[in-house]
Structure 1
Amino acid sequence: MQNVRFTLLGPLRAWRGDEELSLGARQQRLILVLLLARAGERVGVSDLVALLWGDRPPGSAVNVVHRYIGSLRRMLETQLPRRAEGRWLIADAGGYRMRIDAGSLDLLAFRDQVERGRAAALSGRPDEALTLFVSALALWPDRCAAGLDTALAGHPAFVALENECTRVVREVARLASERGNPAAVLPALRRSAARNPFDEALQADLVRSLAADGKQAAALVHYQQVSHLLNDQLGVAAGAELQAALQSVLHSDDESAAGPPEEAAPRPGRTVSPAQLPSDHPYFTGRGPAIERLLAYARRSSGSIVLGIDGIPGIGKTTLAVHLAHLVAADYPDGQLFADLRGFDATRRPIDPGDVLLTFLSALGVAEPPGDAPVECRAALYRSVLADRRTIVVLDNAYNAEQVEPLLPGTANCLVIVTSRTRLYPLAAATGAHLISLDTPEAAEARDGFANRIGRDRAQAEKAALDEIIERCGRLPLAMAVVAARAIDQPLSTILAELRSAQQTLDAFADENLDNDLRAIFSWSYRRLTPAAAHLFRLLSLHPGPDITAESATVLAGTGADETRRLLAELLRTRLVTQHRPHRYRLHMLVRSYALELAAQTDPVPTRDEALRRLHDFYQEGADAANRLIEGSGQVPALDPDALDATATRPTMPSN
């Protein structure tokens, strides 16, 4: 089979062997562009529909996407039968992904060379590093998918890619300056500056590099062009970093080139220090190891500082993020920005990062934020405003990494804290973000937090009831908070009786405020599932053991092994299911109660009966095989724990 190669960093092109391929209609090429931009990661069908039609897709949108996918597969593999998956473009949990590597996509080749350059720099080989960096930047001659880029303007995936290129260009510019070879990076700097005309930090780097290469006149002309553009298009004066670059050209002063001069004219609104953090939780306690790790990351002396906190619904991600921001606020005297990105919201779509940028720019003192400008222009202005400020940015409840990318400052003097139910691996790959997953607190920590709310004397007097309440809450912080609020005017014994009577339901955790109601909060993740993943989620609640293997989940669902693995991956992304050790999955006890309620409401009794019969027969077959082995050998066999989930616990058949 012939290899296939793609270029994305410039005009979209593809080859099969030595033959360049015709990529078909515009919509088909847009689908291919997004698949390549995700660089091997899954792209949901809904994301492809949104790319092609925005908020008003036709009724046939999904079928049209599937037809284009089939056409792309047959383009890449001419002998591929209809409806066959093929080698390059494969289905993945309600979406698709490209099976590509650095040898088949220039974006991955770029990233590979950048990582090799960074490794060389860390190993004390700066000249080799510079060569690798320059070679990497030569792979990126134009905007991604040039020619289609107007259709992609403002799309988070392509904004993130442009930001990635800009970060590398600036990194290489600094190294080239240190090695006395500014000319090496000038071609890439010019290209990147032309694509990002409002990114003042990038424009300042170009001014300094031109001057360092002996092109003082060109540097002064470029400064004037950028200054006029900022004034005409955005109504703002050149910022401190760009003015510092001008001073370095005028005075040939290396020290002034290193940072803003003391007498540089301030940006309009520079004295505004936003203070948008919610108040710290009055009963915050525990989380010591997580806080220690996060503080260690937050107080690093160099590099971009982005912290990602993820975990299941109700685990306390926002509370920890706000508490951490208050702990380090004194280290960031220029203020705090906060935004709820509505990644998992009851009624509203995730908020557009362009709208968040307008809010942030207004809070930072920009008198008239450019509401008509594309998101990348707003992001460039945002990075410029923050270039000389030490600010905390808290981005709560993110849907995915692409929603976050345009909201990241461009320099390392700011701290960004992101919370999400989703593990933000792409953010770690693109920005070096440090990720931490929250688990339920230990029993002693949970008891301490509950005691803070109801009083330590009362907690000690009713210790037995309190301990059982905590365990019936599954030590989930939100569940304990809901129950503790009721304990203000109710005996713990009354609350415990209510929890006992509501066993395997969430009746005891209902709240008029949907932000505290467990059913509502779990539903915000459940509604994001594909129908097949939602069906598996409900069936998993029927399993009697504390966890389940993928093999047993396949039997329970009655699907193929590959399909089950894809559905489990989808459930893991929403954090309705966790993987607590390799190949073993579990639901938090309250999430399981929610799934049981849904199963009772949604799945007919015969459907549930049949699923349990399949599971019972599977376990019985495993037990019979073990018994035969024992009888034949006279020895107790060493059973593989991944072969049977719970040999001592048989599924109970529900009555009709």
Structure 2
Amino acid sequence: MVEICLLGEVTAHVGGRPVDPGPPRQRCVLAALAVEVGRVVPVDRLVERVWGPEVPLRVRGALSSYVSRLRHVLAGSGEVGVVRRSGGYALVVEPSVVDLHRFRELCARARGADDERAEALLAEAVGLWRGEALTGLECGWADAERDRLRGERVAAEDELVDVRLRLGAGEGLVAGLAVRVRERPLDERVAGQYLLALHRAGRTAEALAHYRRVRERLADELGTDPGTALQQLHRQVLAADPALDRTTPATAVPRQLPAAPAPFVGRDGELDRLDTASPSGAAVVISAIAGAGGIGKTWLALHWAHRNLHRFPDGQLFVDLRGFSPEGEPMDPAVAVRGFLDALDVEPGRVPVDPHAQTALFRSLVANRRVLVVLDNAADTDQVTPLLPGSPSCTVLVTSRNRLPGLIAHSAARHVPLDVLTDAEARALLTDRLGAARVAAEPAAVAEVIGSCAGFPLALSIVAGHAHMHPDLPLSALAAELRELGLDALDDGDPAASLPAVLSWSHRALTPGQARAFALLGIAPGPDIGLAAAASLTGSSLKDTGSVLRGLEQASLITRDARGRYRMHDLIRRHAADTAAELPEREREAALRRVVDHYLHTAFAADRCLHQERSPIALDPPAPGTLLRPAPDYAGALAWFDAEHPNLLAAQQTAATLDGHHAAWALAWCLTTFHHRRGHLHARLAAWQVGLVAAERVADPAVHHLAHQAAGRAHADLGRHAEAERHLRRALELAEETGDRNDQARAHQEFTRLWALRGDDRKALEHATHALRLHRGLDRPLGEALCLNLVGWYAARLGEHDRAREHCLAALARYREHREPEGEAMTLDSLGYIDHHTGRHDEAVGHYRQALALFRELGHSYAVADSLDGLGHPCAALGRLEEARELWEEALELYRAQAREEEAARVLRQLGELDGGDGAGGA
């Protein structure tokens, strides 16, 4: 648990204990980052805030030192980090960890809440202050920021007084307001608050006298009269207007809410969104709670309603519209309106015959009354519209498995989507139902139950109910039942308490096209799916598929994220997969082959965008009905791979299951460039482990060679040298058996890398030289350029710098002639290394920077990390220590993100040497 305090003396607490944020300037760094939590603060701005206009020499080194110490101070929490970003630093932490941002969040929530809730929120917000903000910081930025924050505090205190006055307070506010009017004698808002508080305290004469003093002072000092609001309040006090005394509203008749659900856990974000639905606007406030069957929509609505009964003193109306009921058709809205009229005590003889007239009467009866209307389980917007009040004093909660877009578009309803519970919330629900001791006694079984129920409240409640009725039954037995039976274990004799039954009601409401797509989505490879892949899966056009998916989304059976990708919750997906079993096997297999071909052929085209010079492989034609949407350019291809990566790996597994051996190994091939440039080393190995098995079932020695070579590279990069050597020797044997000199050269290239990783640069150079000789007998200029660079690099590693420079310059010329940016960048990086180790540090900086720019343009984060590391050394040798520090800090973050622990440890040592003043220029 971490807390960073700015609203008083700048302090920090870790694990409930105070920690010393360091000297004033270090505290200023912490405050400057915490004020803008989560956002990058540029280095120049940080320097200006901490040191002001008089910046000392080596200021960046001092700033970096402060940041390093802050990291140490805050270490161990797991919740907060000071990270280096391009151009600056950022404090990465939940905003609520910083008291200033917690204060602002509480104030924002109070603005949308009723008075009683707002009073509690504002009191909590004001209570966070412990004196002047940023105490202990003495700099121009802190002074200006302190003044600005003081204004926020005053505004919150003023609002808190207003709320308390609206709630009927008076005498208890007088003492505090007396201080405030002395501090702000010309503030008419404070004057009005003091007037009203004095009047309510029975001190009307003092209130009137204070008004006269304010009026005179305004005239003397500003030459003006009090504003309209203060004058009106003065007249009301003079007249002893009873409206100034808060009265209790009359009790309303209807109290139709069912009992509040128990237990109820989580949903804090959704409850906050509902809390902001204040009935003070110009129109009735409507919140539409949408989600899948069994997700807890009714529970949320009833829990919020009972928690907010004080907001609706004129009554609460409730109706189950049976939009997805096994009992038949949804309720006619006219029946629901008649039920409301009965609850409002309308005599039968006064009820009009015409349904429209009944709706009009209902709206008249609730006009200007604070009434809550809960419309549960709505089928569609048409069912809801006649039941909506017309008065802004009313609030409506609608729950539905459909998203009700018409209600959102035409009635300005607030959409409140409902997702599954978190694991912690699911555990809390089970603990509440079964007791802490029983849950704690079987942690493994509880974890499995939570995983099987996938966060669905109904599923958890069914399991908890079963366990509650059988107290002697071990939870491990329930977990085993869920594991063996799946959704069938959640099938109860009562349809309302059976998750399969609840989901089946949603399924029955689908059109045939939606039902078929729903089933196929249940067996599609990967955790989510894009529109083009879904079109291939169903064999439909983009337009028709989009329409079907929108229908499934409105039915809350799938969700769509901000990127336009569709996903199913685990239990819904299991239900969809069960329904897919009812489709003919031929139809299921054809759908899977289409979607695998979509991923394969799109990945092939995307790889060609990333690496145009790579020798292509041959693919079988895509299955009929497969939709291909190749990426338009390099950036689009990289983004497509990023988005589809988990699905591509899953598609490869699906292809292997379908005996699509060519597709399975070809997908591994298509992913290789992406895996290398993004540094996904473990994923690359996993892909080639599947790909190698599939390749060996293809009757083509060239495919066998390629798969063994790629598998060898994947093993080598993860330090599995024996496995790597085994695969590379087999790849070389295959190339020699077929006499393919190009394949032989490529095998030697991979041996070059393997021996380098083993620490034997001499053997690496021998293999690179052999690969170069083979390429020179071939008409493959880019292959020759690659080997020239390899020879140059390993010659440089062995101190043969003249030979190294000669080979690398020749490689650079060929790469530039053929416009191959990755090879050009690799060679520039080699030249940077050579220049640095021959004392040409300025030239080294130039070469490294060119390489870095190309790698960044290519999105080659793996190589970016290496070039950042390399560039830091000549910078350090030139005395540009702060520049070296920034480069190595960024390299360190990339190495850690890529799980390259050895490289990260080396860079950490280099940073330590910088702090020790060594310079670290010789590595």
Q: Please give the TM-score of this superposition, normalised by the length of structure 2.
A: 0.40
Q: Which residue of 1 aligns with 2:392?
A: 412
Following superposition, the deviation at residue 562 of structure 1 comes to 1.1
Q: Which residue of 1 aligns with 2:372?
A: 392
Q: Distance in 1 between matches of 2:639 and 2:409?
A: 39
1:529 matches 2:510: yes
Q: Hey, which of these two has a bigger chunk of helix by percent?
A: 2
Q: Which residue of 2 aligns with 1:538?
A: 519
Following superposition, the deviation at residue 284 of structure 1 comes to 1.0
Q: Which residue of 1 aligns with 2:591?
A: 611
Q: Distance in 1 between matches of 2:467 and 2:553?
A: 34
Q: 2:478 aligns with which of 491, 495, 499?
A: 495
Contact 1:341/1:351, CA 8 A, preserved across alignment: yes
Matched to 1:496, the amino acid is A
Task: Name the CA shift for 1:458/1:371 in 2 (closer, same or farther; >3 Å).
Answer: same
Q: Which residue of 1 aligns with 2:446?
A: 466
SS in 1 for 2:253: coil
Q: Which residue of 1 aligns with 2:355?
A: 375
Following superposition, the deviation at residue 623 of structure 1 comes to 4.0
**Which range is displaced more, 638-647 or 402-411?**
638-647
Over the matched positions of the two proteins, sequence identity in percent amounts to 40
Q: Distance in 1 between matches of 2:408 and 2:514?
A: 26
Contact 1:549/1:645, CA 8 A, preserved across alignment: no
Task: Name the CA shift for 1:553/1:365 in 2 (closer, same or farther; >3 Å).
Answer: same
Matched to 2:594, the amino acid is R
SS in 2 for 1:297: coil
Q: Which residue of 2 aligns with 1:443?
A: 423
Task: Name the CA shift for 1:445/1:298 in 2 (closer, same or farther; >3 Å).
Answer: farther
Contact 1:548/1:645, CA 8 A, preserved across alignment: no
Task: Name the CA shift for 1:586/1:308 in 2 (closer, same or farther; >3 Å).
Answer: same
Q: Which residue of 1 aligns with 2:500?
A: 519
Following superposition, the deviation at residue 424 of structure 1 comes to 2.6
Following superposition, the deviation at residue 395 of structure 1 comes to 0.5
1:421 matches 2:401: yes
Q: Distance in 1 between matches of 2:349 and 2:568?
A: 45
Task: Name the CA shift for 1:389/1:626 in 2 (closer, same or farther; >3 Å).
Answer: closer
Q: Please give the TM-score of this superposition, normalised by the length of structure 1.
A: 0.55
1:455 matches 2:435: yes
Q: Distance in 2 between matches of 1:284 and 1:632?
A: 57
Contact 2:368/2:392, CA 8 A, preserved across alignment: no
1:365 matches 2:345: yes
Q: 1:592 aligns with which of 573, 576, 592?
A: 573
1:91-490 mapped onto 2 (5 Å cutoff):
273-298=253-278, 300=280, 303-368=283-348, 373-488=353-468, 489=470, 490=473
Contact 1:361/1:382, CA 8 A, preserved across alignment: yes
Task: Name the CA shift for 1:414/1:607 in 2 (closer, same or farther; >3 Å).
Answer: same
Contact 1:622/1:644, CA 8 A, preserved across alignment: no
Q: Distance in 1 between matches of 2:603 and 2:271?
A: 46
Task: Name the CA shift for 1:466/1:357 in 2 (closer, same or farther; >3 Å).
Answer: same
Matched to 1:421, the amino acid is R
Contact 1:304/1:432, CA 8 A, preserved across alignment: no
Following superposition, the deviation at residue 293 of structure 1 comes to 1.8
SS in 1 for 2:389: coil
Matched to 2:393, the amino acid is N
Task: Name the CA shift for 1:411/1:628 in 2 (closer, same or farther; >3 Å).
Answer: closer
Q: Distance in 2 between matches of 1:296 and 1:629?
A: 48
Q: Distance in 2 between matches of 1:411 and 1:639?
A: 49
Q: Which residue of 2 aligns with 1:560?
A: 541
Q: Distance in 2 between matches of 1:379 and 1:562?
A: 39
Following superposition, the deviation at residue 303 of structure 1 comes to 4.0
Question: 1:579-598: per-residue Cα shift (whole Å, max 9, x none)?
Answer: 13322111111111111111
Q: 1:579 aligns with which of 560, 578, 581?
A: 560
Q: Distance in 1 between matches of 2:414 and 2:648?
A: 40
SS in 1 for 2:497: coil
Q: Distance in 1 between matches of 2:639 and 2:410?
A: 43
Q: Distance in 1 between matches of 2:543 and 2:649?
A: 28
User: Structure 2: which 5+ runs fail to align?
Assistant: 1-242, 244-249, 616-633, 660-923
Following superposition, the deviation at residue 394 of structure 1 comes to 0.7
Task: Name the CA shift for 1:615/1:463 in 2 (closer, same or farther; >3 Å).
Answer: same
Greater gyration radius? 2
Contact 2:280/2:393, CA 8 A, preserved across alignment: no
Q: Distance in 2 between matches of 1:577 and 1:319?
A: 21
SS in 2 for 1:365: coil
Point out which structure has higher relative CO (alpha carbons under 8 A, 6+ apart): 1
Matched to 1:323, the amino acid is H
Q: Distance in 2 between matches of 1:562 and 1:644?
A: 25
1:633-644 mapped onto 2 (5 Å cutoff):
633=613, 638=638, 640-641=640-641
Contact 2:534/2:545, CA 8 A, preserved across alignment: yes
How many residue pairs are counted as aligned between the two chains?
384
Following superposition, the deviation at residue 396 of structure 1 comes to 0.3
Contact 2:285/2:413, CA 8 A, preserved across alignment: yes
Following superposition, the deviation at residue 544 of structure 1 comes to 1.9
Contact 1:358/1:370, CA 8 A, preserved across alignment: no
Q: Distance in 2 between matches of 1:552 and 1:369?
A: 60
Contact 2:481/2:489, CA 8 A, preserved across alignment: yes
Task: Name the CA shift for 1:432/1:638 in 2 (closer, same or farther; >3 Å).
Answer: closer
SS in 1 for 2:494: coil
Contact 1:358/1:369, CA 8 A, preserved across alignment: no
Contact 1:542/1:596, CA 8 A, preserved across alignment: yes
